[in-house]
Amino acid sequence: MSEPLVRTEVRGRVGVARLNRPRAYNALSPELMRELLAVLRAWDQDDAIGAMVITGNEKVFAAGADVKAMSQADAVEMLRSGYIELFDGLSTIRKPLIAAVAGWALGGGLELALACDMIVAAENAVFGQPEINLGIIPGAGGTQRLARTLGKYLTMEMVLNDRRLRADEAARFGLVNRVVPTETYLDEAIALAQAIAARAPLAVRLGKEAVNFAFESTLQAGLQHERRLFYLLFATEDQTEGMRAFLEKREPHWQGR
């Protein structure tokens, strides 16, 4: 049997998806992206899973889309390929997604990390959008998500001149949540995911939705959206339980209802 393109493992309430094309530096072929999305969608439906981690290996998170496959494509093939829909599918995942990045996160690899909700970086991580070297630009969100996170000027340098950020620079510019030793990066990302997965599931889900809405809306519309989600949580058993547990000085028992 052939190796899966995405290896999966469940640790407690966390699903860990490991990109598995090491010989191609985890180049994100459509087949790999399809497999990844299928795994994430299944976990998103599974009450036993509270958060997910996407990772590569210690040397490379992902070196981008598969240049070998793309090199022969014309515009119509790219347009018809459905490749971008696979990236867009990531934004339909409702549970938290954490990218655990060691080594290269380049091109589509960085765009995959940017589509996650948090990024834990190993000390050896390198982030970049080298598409300009191939005569193209990022096509799966890089120009937009980086500009929103890093601002215009650094993003321009990355997109127009292949400026790469080391992990410490990425942390300084707010691109990653934390930088940790390469030996422990995956454990640290899983620990962060476990901590979130132990929290009230509906509040986590709506919290993610509310924060993401900030990227889509004006401040006023965002504040209104947040308020509606806030009121909605007062219809949940977990709100009653959370507040009761606080007053009774005990740990809450979340039901996800």
Candidate ranges 63-71, 174-182, 216-224, 238-246; the one touching ligand DAK (CB under 6 A): 63-71
Give start and end residues of each alpha helix (H) in the chain: 30-44, 67-70, 75-80, 83-88, 108-114, 142-150, 152-161, 167-172, 185-197, 201-213, 219-233, 237-247
For ligand DAK, the binding residue among 25, 61, 127, 185 (CB under 6 A) is: 25
For 94-147, give the DSSP string: -S-EEEEE-SEEETHHHHHHHTSSEEEEETT-EEE-GGGGGT----SSHHHHHH
Catalytic annotation present for 111: yes
Q: For residues 149 and 194, which CB has a smaller minimum distance to ligand DAK in the complex?
A: 149
Catalytic annotation present for 109: no
For ligand DAK, the binding residue among 6, 19, 27, 202 (CB under 6 A) is: 27
Interaction between residue 61 and ligand DAK (CB under 6 A): no
Q: For residues 147 and 229, which CB has a smaller minimum distance to ligand DAK in the complex?
A: 147
Give dist(CA 114, CA 147) in Å, integer: 11
Single-letter amino acid, residue 252: P
Please give the residues from 98 up to 157 whose contact with ligand DAK meets the rule CB under 6 A.
104, 106-108, 130-131, 133-134, 139-140
Interaction between residue 12 and ligand DAK (CB under 6 A): no
Interaction between residue 73 and ligand DAK (CB under 6 A): no
Give dist(CA 58, CA 49) in Å, integer: 25
For ligand DAK, the binding residue among 19, 43, 66, 190 (CB under 6 A) is: 66
Of 102, 31, 114, nearest to 66 by C-alpha is 31
Show the CA angle centred on residue 13, arms to residues 109 and 252, nearest 5°.
130
Shortest Å distance, C-beta 5 to ligand DAK? 13
Interaction between residue 56 and ligand DAK (CB under 6 A): no
The residues that are catalytic are: 65, 108, 111, 131
Chain residues binding ligand DAK by CB under 6 A are: 24-25, 27, 63-68, 78, 83-84, 104, 106-108, 130-131, 133-134, 139-140
